[in-house]
Each structure stands twice: as structure tokens, then as C-alpha cells.
């Protein structure tokens, strides 16, 4: 078991040829080496673009423990019954075929002086440039009564896969007229509209299968992303089902008891049937171990996503603290391409173009009722700064909402092809 | 889930021809051809909806733009996806309405002869304000902008901003393919978004910060992709 934990996939010639490179090169530097930690929206994209665009001139190693990546994006649609779990699953075969060495293991440490990454399975991989895109971990003690050992009783489902399956099973097993509770996270967190799209999808399921059930949200935030659109949709589709308790009424003071299955808001204890606890977040732990975090997140330079603590480390996606971009898969993918261009330029002298970023987040409120919010961003000396944006309007026609939803399906196919290769 | 690809892709290359509105048809001859439409459509000062919507000001108007007419879901969707009735779009639609737009409720086989289509479009144009409604009126690109020779390497970098949604291999699962387009059609479509002649807010936003050089660079990249 221990021996196979560290496995290499990819049998193509390109994969095998570059596979040996990181191990053989001590100081000879035949080929520059890039190591990417985390094969999600940021890391998979960066690895693929560097391998593809450098055409073999750079050896790219991706370290990712799981063999199947389940996207968080569209995982709410899975809860609502619009997708099956297989629709969210992606393998790393396409990356291996683009020439990336995919190493299925955990990175457990970074030695910045020796420029090596230590692996859980033993051994280490040397780098010239290191890219970290480990996503998020949860802040300990953020929701009193909850810690990771309670995640089976009260799932977060904020990393997709078995947690999402568990939450869906619990939703479907709820007694008639029961209560689905959510403890929403404080800012900043991954996918600002995510909890509210989730509430919409849970409501969609309950309306058809358990119409007397209730949804109770404890929310520490005054307002949230696309709030007017969600509230309009909730009133139109799920009238009377959803109650959100904001900070004015103690929504910021929530604790849980995963054994008794209760949620206490501002001293008021309520028995609940399902409790989706989404705690406060921070950068994936390896960022902290690499010493590039300041507080919960890893500050970066906007022009190339390089860490403010180490010019040879870049941090992408949710883990980075970059400025105005929301923590989304779209943002991570956008940042990865800017970073890939800069890293390739630094290692091979290829042309480096000015950074440009964009993001659009679609959310589904009910069947064929899609909304979106988007913006463009540029790199300034201080941060990634928003340039311009748009958001869906309340009162839009059913046709526009349906077209927006269909566009989101197109986006999902597009971004996953862009991350993993077609 | 596959979106009707024909409708989406055909919607792109059209605006270049709008300002000039011309397939070289003869409006007089078109009046004769229009007899084949008259069972369902009216034009002129007293035109009202019959089986089909009235067709005044149809040139340059978005599809399904008349709020008081009940369109099929297919036509409404084409409208939501910004299909604009340019001369070129009408030309393709009228050749075979159901092939161009599966699901349309226009029960008409189509006009097989290109001259008939050109003539009836010229006739419809004579009932359209200034040939083209505001959406497309006055939208024309200078030949220099259309002919700019783009920097394909820069285009490849810029294109990364597009491939989050538009698949590089040309698949369409709800967002149209943009590879293998004609250079002129590509450049025109991007400028149409930039100048807000086309409605999708995400595209308007992306196009708004692309200069002439950048649009040309993207065209140089995408028009060669897949060849
Ligand atoms: C419910 C929900 C809905 C969402 N919907 C959308 C949406 O519609 N649109 C959108 O754009 N975004 C959406 N998101 C947000 C999106 O999923 C994240 O922002 C995005 O995945 C961030 O990318 P990342 O690369 O930072 O992290 P991730 O994609 O999470 O990837 C991190 C990877 O790193 C690996 N890893 C972690 N630690 C280590 C280590 N020590 N060693 C090796 N590997 C490691 C993990 O296994 C993981 O595969 C949603 C999120 C949620 C929770």
C-alpha cells in the first residue's frame, strides 16, 4: 500500500521522457523544472499550459493526491438532482498526455533553500519554480462544536467528492417536514455565491420531494453575492421555505452539537435533520508549511502571481491573497494562465505579455433560471484590481434566464477542457 | 446537452454586411416573391401580426423582438442568444427555416433560389427604418481594421482568456465554437461586442478592453486553430 501511494501515470513517450528529468538533474540543469502542488482549477491549468506551450523545454511535475478530481463547480447542481456524481469527475490522463508528470501523492513540506518539495510517500522533487494551488482548508474552531472529526455527521461539502455525496444522501433521507440547516461562512471564502446556490438547489429538491421541509441559514454576513437575484428567486420559486438569520439577529453566533444534531443561534437551540457546516476558510495547509502565508492567506504580486515571500514560488486560486478577484474556479484558471506565461518567460526567455484577468460566476436558482456576475481585472502595484463588471438583473425574462443557464453548461465544458485537456 | 449549433455560429459572422444590407436584391421583384409570405406576414403602415409576426423594421432587429407576438421557444431562444436579422441571417433562414432554426414554428419550406431571397430581403429592407434598426445601424468597420495583420503569438496568449468558455477544439456545449471562422467575421463580431451592437454582457466586457491590435491578434490565432 505504501509503495503504490506514489504512482506515476501516463505511458506516452513525452510523459516518460520528462518523468526522469526532475530526479536526474541535481545541478546540471539540463532542463528547467516546474513543480505544481495541487491539480485543481489553478494547478491543473498552470501545469497544462506550461507543458503545452513550452513544447518540452520545461519539465513539469504535478503533485496531487487524488486520482479523480471532483469539481466543486456544479456540485450544487448535483445536490439539486441536475447532475450525477460522474458528471463532476475528471481524471489526469489528459494532463499526462500533454507531457505533465503527474505524481499522485501529498506534498508535506517545502525546503525553500534547497528548492525541494517533500512527499508523504518519501523522497522529494526539486524545482526551479514552484506553483502552489492547494485550495482551502478550514479555520479550526470557527464554528464552536464542529471540527473535522464531525464532518460525517455535519458535512461541509465544500471540497467536492465524498462530502458532496454524503450531503446529498442526508438531504434525501430527511424526514418529511424536517429541517435542513446551513452555517454559512464569513468572508473571504471560496465561491461567494456558492452557499446560496446550494440553498436554491436544496430547495429545488425539497419542493418536489419534501415540500413541508424548511431551510434554516445562520449567516455571519450582512449581505452576499447576487443577493437580490437569489432573494427574488427564492420568493418566486420557494416561498416560505427558506429562513436566513443574518448577523443582526445573531446569525454570526452559531454553534452546533453534531451528536445531538442541534444548531444554536444566538442562544436559541433548534433540532435539525441535516446540518451543512461551512466554516471560515484559509489557504490549503501546504502554503503555510511553505512559509508563504501571512495570516490565513498567501499574499502575491498581481503581475505574475508570485509570492510576496519568495519570488520562485507562485500561489494561485483560493489560497492566494491577490486583491479584488473572488475565490472561484474561473479566477484560479485565469490566474494560472497569467502565471504560466510569466514562469515560462522566466525559465526559457519566451515572450511575457501583460497580465489580464477575468471572472464570471453563474448560479442556478431553479430549473432553467440561471444568473451570472462577471468582471475584468488588471494588475496594479498593490493588487489585482477590478476594472469593470456586470451582473444579471432582477425581473429578466425566462428566455434570458434559460440562455444564461445554457451558457453555464458551455462554460463548464470549456473550463474543464481547459484545465485537463480535451 | 448540445445547443443548436447552426443558429449560434451563423449568428456570428453577420454584422459586416448589415450596414450595406445587400445581397444585391431588387425590391420590386421582391414584392412578387413576398406573395409567398403574405398568407402569414404583413408589411406596410397597417401591418398586424397574423400567423407570423408583422415584418416592418425587421432588418437589423434581433430575432423575436416583438413583445406582443408569441414566438416559438426556438425563436425566443435565438433572440436571447442575440441572433440579429441581418441580410445575411435572413438569407440563411429563408433558404430553409427549419434547417437553420430547428423548432421554429414558421411553416414554410424555404426559398430555394438565391435571387428570390435577395429580392425579398431588399423588399423587406424598404420597410425597415434606414435599412437597419438601431441595433446594427451605423456599424461598419474600416477596411484597415478588418485587414490588420495580427500577432499570432500575442493572440495565443490572449486566447487563454477565451478558452475558459470557448473550447479550443471547437466543441459547443452551450457556448459557440470560435475556431475556423473567417478573419473578417471574427474581427467584426468582436468589434460589434466592443461597441455594444451585440448584447451578451460577458462578451461586451471582454471585448471592451481589447484594442484593434488585440482583436487582430486573436483573429490571427483562432482563424488558424484547428486547420
Ligand atoms: C459548492 C461550490 C460551488 C462552486 N461553484 C463554482 C462555480 O460555479 N464557478 C466557479 O468558478 N467556481 C466555483 N466554486 C469555487 C471553485 O471550486 C474554487 O474556487 C476552485 O476550485 C479553486 O481552485 P484552486 O486551484 O485554488 O483549488 P482546488 O480546485 O480546490 O484544487 C486544489 C487541489 O490541491 C490538492 N492539494 C491540496 N493540498 C495538497 C498537498 N499538500 N499536496 C498535493 N496536493 C494538494 C487538492 O487535492 C485539490 O485537488 C465553487 C465551490 C464550491 C465549494
Per DSSP, helices labelled H in B61-196 are 73-80, 87-95, 97-100, 114-125, 143-147, 152-159, 183-194
Quote the pLDDT of residue A28: 53
What is the dihedral sign for C-alpha B87, B90, B91, B92?
A: positive
| Residues B107, B31 share a domain | yes
Q: How far is the CA of A296 from the centre of ligand 1 (A)?
A: 16
Q: Is A387 an 8 Å CB contact of chain B?
A: yes
Contacts of A337 in chain B (CB under 8 A): 157, 160-161
Q: How far is the CA of A145 from the centre of ligand 1 (A)?
A: 25
pLDDT surpassing 80 at residue A14: no
Average pLDDT over residues A105-114: 98
Quote the pLDDT of residue A130: 98
- CA nearest to A274, candidates A366, A350, A370, A210: A210
Specify if B99 maps to a domain. yes
Name the B residues in 29-58 with CB < 8 Å from any A CB. Answer: none
- A406 vs B3: CB contact, 8 Å cut-off? yes
pLDDT surpassing 60 at residue B18: no
In chain A, % of residues over pLDDT 70: 93
Contacts of A49 in chain B (CB under 8 A): 160
Three-class SS of residue A93?
Answer: helix
Residues of the domain holding B206: 6-17+132-224
Contact indicator for B194, B212 with CB cutoff of 8 Å: no
Quote the pLDDT of residue B226: 59
| Phi-psi label, residue A56: left if phi above 0, alpha if psi -120 to 50, beta otherwise | left
User: pLDDT tens digit string along A360-380?
Assistant: 999 999 999 999 999 999 999
User: pLDDT tens digit string along A286-337?
Assistant: 999 999 999 999 999 999 999 999 999 999 999 999 999 999 999 999 999 9
Select from B125, B149, B174 the last residue of a domain: B125
Specify if B138 maps to a domain. yes
pLDDT surpassing 50 at residue B3: no
Alpha-carbon distance values, A270 to A211, A245, A257, B133 (Å):
20, 13, 10, 60
Q: How far is the CA of A72 from the centre of ligand 1 (A)?
A: 7
Residue in A356, A393, A422 to test binding to B, most B beta-carbons within 10 Å: A356
Phi, psi of A172, rounded to the nearest 5 degrees: -75, -20
User: pLDDT tens digit string along B40-68?
Assistant: 999 988 889 999 999 998 988 889 988 88
Q: Which atom of ligand 1 is nearest to the CA of A362?
A: 8
Strand A262-265 relative to strand A268-271, pairing: antiparallel
- Going by CA atoms, what residue is nearest to atom 51 of ligand 1? A72
Max CA distance (Å), chain B: 56
Three-class SS of residue A204?
Answer: helix
Q: Which atom of ligand 1 is nearest to the CA of A408?
A: 8
User: pLDDT tens digit string along B160-172?
Assistant: 999 999 999 888 8
* Alpha-carbon gap, residue B105 to B98, rounded angstroms: 8
* Alpha-carbon gap, residue B164 to B170, rounded angstroms: 13
- CA nearest to A39, candidates A2, A78, A68: A68
| Residues B94, B145 share a domain | no
* Domains: count for chain B: 2
ipTM score of the complex? Answer: 0.86
pLDDT surpassing 60 at residue B220: yes
Quote the pLDDT of residue B139: 64
| Residues B117, B137 share a domain | no
pLDDT surpassing 90 at residue A273: yes
Select from B125, B144, B173 the last residue of a domain: B125
Q: Is A390 an 8 Å CB contact of chain B?
A: yes
Omega before A188 cis (within 30°)?
A: yes
User: pLDDT tens digit string along B108-151?
Assistant: 999 999 999 999 998 998 887 644 333 333 467 788 888 899 99
Domain of residue B85, CATH code: 1.10.760.10
Select the more confidently predicted residue: A72 or A4.
Answer: A72
Max CA distance (Å), chain A: 69
| Residues B217, B136 share a domain | yes
Q: Is B5 an 8 Å CB contact of chain A?
A: no
Interface size between A and B, measured as CB pairs under 8 A: 108
Specify if B22 maps to a domain. no
Closest CB to A358: pick one of B1, B161, B171: B161
- Going by CA atoms, what residue is nearest to atom 27 of ligand 1? A135
Contacts of B209 in chain A (CB under 8 A): 356, 376, 387-388
Q: Is B65 an 8 Å CB contact of chain A?
A: no
Fold of A141-279: FAD/NAD(P)-binding domain (3.50.50)
Quote the pLDDT of residue A22: 41
Which segments of A151-258 are extended strands (E)? 179-183, 214-218, 242-245, 254-257
Average pLDDT over residues A144-171: 98
User: pLDDT tens digit string along A35-78?
Assistant: 999 999 999 999 999 999 999 999 999 999 999 999 999 999 99
The string over A8-47, giving b where at least 16 C-beta atoms fall within 10 Å of a residue's C-beta and e elsewhere, is: ebbeeebbeebbebbeebeeeeebbbbbbbbbbbbbbbbb
Calculate how close chain B gets to A252, using CA atoms only, in Å. 34
So what CATH class is A5-137+282-352? alpha beta
Domain ranges of chain A: 5-137+282-352, 141-279
* Alpha-carbon gap, residue A127 to A137, rounded angstroms: 25
Which segments of A176-329 are extended strands (E)? 179-183, 214-218, 242-245, 254-257, 262-265, 268-271, 274-277, 281-283, 298-299, 313-315, 320-321
Give residues with Cβ within 8 angstroms of A28, minimum separation 6.
none
Contacts of B160 in chain A (CB under 8 A): 49, 337, 341
Select from B75, B99, B125 the last residue of a domain: B125
Residue in B7, B154, B160 to test binding to A, most A beta-carbons within 10 Å: B160
What residues are in contact with ligand 1 under a 6 Å CB criterion? Answer: A 37-43, 63-66, 69, 72-73, 75-76, 106-107, 133-135, 158, 190-191, 194, 198, 284, 286, 316-319, 327-330, 332, 361-362
Quote the pTM value: 0.77
Closest CB to B167: pick one of A337, A341, A414: A414
Amino acid at each position: 500500500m505504501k509503495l503504490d501511494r506514489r504512482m506515476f501515470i501516463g505511458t506516452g513517450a513525452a510523459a516518460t521522457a520528462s518523468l526522469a528529468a526532475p530526479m536526474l538533474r541535481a545541478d546540471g540543469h539540463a532542463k528547467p523544472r516546474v513543480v505544481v502542488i495541487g491539480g485543481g482549477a489553478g494547478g491543473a491549468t498552470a501545469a497544462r499550459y506550461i507543458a503545452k506551450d513550452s513544447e518540452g523545454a520545461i519539465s513539469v511535475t504535478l503533485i496531487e493526491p487524488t486520482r479523480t478530481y471532483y469539481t466543486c463547480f456544479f456540485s450544487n447542481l448535483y445536490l439539486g438532482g441536475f447532475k450525477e456524481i460522474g458528471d463532476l469527475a475528471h481524471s489526469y490522463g489528459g494532463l499526462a498526455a500533454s507531457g505533465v508528470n503527474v505524481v499522485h501523492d501529498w506534498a508535506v513540506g517545502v525546503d525553500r533553500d534547497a528548492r525541494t518539495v517533500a512527499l508523504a510517500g518519501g523522497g522529494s522533487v526539486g524545482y526551479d519554480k514552484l506553483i502552489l494551488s492547494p485550495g482551502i482548508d478550514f479555520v479550526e474552531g470557527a464554528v464552536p462544536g464542529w471540527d473535522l472529526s464531525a464532518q460525517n455527521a455535519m458535512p461541509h461539502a465544500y471540497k467536492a467528492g465524498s462530502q458532496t455525496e454524503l450531503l446529498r444522501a442526508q438531504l434525501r433521507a430527511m424526514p418529511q417536514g424536517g429541517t435542513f440547516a446551513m452555517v454559512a461562512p464569513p468572508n473571504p471564502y471560496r465561491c461567494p455565491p456558492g452557499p446560496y446556490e446550494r440553498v436554491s438547489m436544496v430547495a429545488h429538491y425539497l419542493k418536489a420531494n419534501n415540500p413541508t421541509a424548511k431551510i434554516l441559514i445562520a449567516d455571519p454576513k450582512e449581505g452576499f453575492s447576487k443577493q437580490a437575484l437569489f432573494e427574488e428567486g427564492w420568493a418566486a420559486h420557494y416561498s416560505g421555505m427558506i429562513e436566513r438569520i443574518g448577523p443582526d439577529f445573531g446569525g454570526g453566533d452559531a454553534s452546533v452539537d453534531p451528536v445531538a444534531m442541534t444548531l444554536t443561534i444566538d442562544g436559541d437551540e433548534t433540532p435539525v435533520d441535516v446540518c451543512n457546516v461551512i466554516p471560515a476558510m484559509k489557504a490549503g495547509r501546504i502554503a503555510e508549511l511553505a512559509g508563504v502565508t501571512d495570516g490565513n492567506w498567501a499574499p502575491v504580486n498581481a503581475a505574475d502571481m508570485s509570492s510576496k515571500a519568495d519570488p520562485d514560488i507562485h500561489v494561485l486560486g483560493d489560497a492566494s491573497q491577490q486583491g479584488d478577484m473572488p475565490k472561484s474556479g474561473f479566477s484560479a484558471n485565469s490566474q494560472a494562465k497569467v502565471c504560466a506565461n510569466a514562469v515560462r518567460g522566466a525559465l526559457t526567455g519566451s515572450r511575457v505579455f501583460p497580465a489580464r484577468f477575468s471572472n464570471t460566476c453563474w448560479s442556478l436558482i431553479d430549473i432553467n433560471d440561471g444568473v451570472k456576475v462577471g468582471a475584468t481585472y488588471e494588475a496594479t502595484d498593490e493588487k489585482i484590481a477590478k476594472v469593470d463588471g456586470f451582473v444579471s438583473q432582477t425581473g429578466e425574462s425566462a428566455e434570458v434566464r434559460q440562455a444564461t443557464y445554457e451558457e453555464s453548461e458551455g462554460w463548464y465544458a470549456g473550463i474543464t477542457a481547459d484545465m485537463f485537456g480535451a | 446537452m448540445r445547443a443548436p449549433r447552426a443558429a449560434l455560429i451563423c449568428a456570428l459572422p453577420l454584422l459586416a454586411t448589415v450596414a450595406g444590407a445587400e445581397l444585391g436584391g431588387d425590391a420590386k421583384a421582391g414584392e412578387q416573391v413576398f406573395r409567398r409570405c403574405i398568407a402569414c406576414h404583413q408589411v406596410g403602415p397597417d401591418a398586424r401580426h397574423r400567423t407570423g409576426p408583422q415584418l416592418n423594421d425587421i432588418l437589423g432587429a434581433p430575432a423575436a423582438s416583438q413583445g406582443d407576438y408569441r414566438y416559438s421557444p426556438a425563436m425566443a431562444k435565438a433572440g436571447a442568444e442575440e441572433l440579429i436579422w441581418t441580410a445575411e441571417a435572413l438569407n440563411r433562414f429563408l433558404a430553409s427555416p427549419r434547417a437553420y432554426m430547428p423548432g421554429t414554428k414558421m411553416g414554410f419550406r424555404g426559398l430555394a433560389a438565391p435571387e428570390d431571397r435577395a429580392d425579398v430581403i431588399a423588399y423587406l429592407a424598404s420597410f425597415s427604418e434606414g435599412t437597419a434598426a438601431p441595433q446594427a445601424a451605423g456599424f461598419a468597420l474600416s477596411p484597415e481594421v478588418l485587414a490588420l495583420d495580427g500577432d499570432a503569438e500575442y493572440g495565443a496568449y490572449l486566447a487563454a482568456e477565451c478558452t475558459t468558455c470557448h473550447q479550443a477544439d471547437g466543441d459547443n456545449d452551450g457556448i459557440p465554437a470560435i475556431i475556423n471562422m473567417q478573419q473578417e467575421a471574427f474581427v467584426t463580431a468582436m468589434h460589434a461586442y466592443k461597441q455594444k451592437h451585440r448584447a451578451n454582457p460577458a462578451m461586451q466586457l471582454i471585448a471592451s478592453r481589447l484594442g484593434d491590435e488585440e482583436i487582430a491578434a486573436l483573429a490571427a490565432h483562432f482563424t488558424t486553430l484547428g486547420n
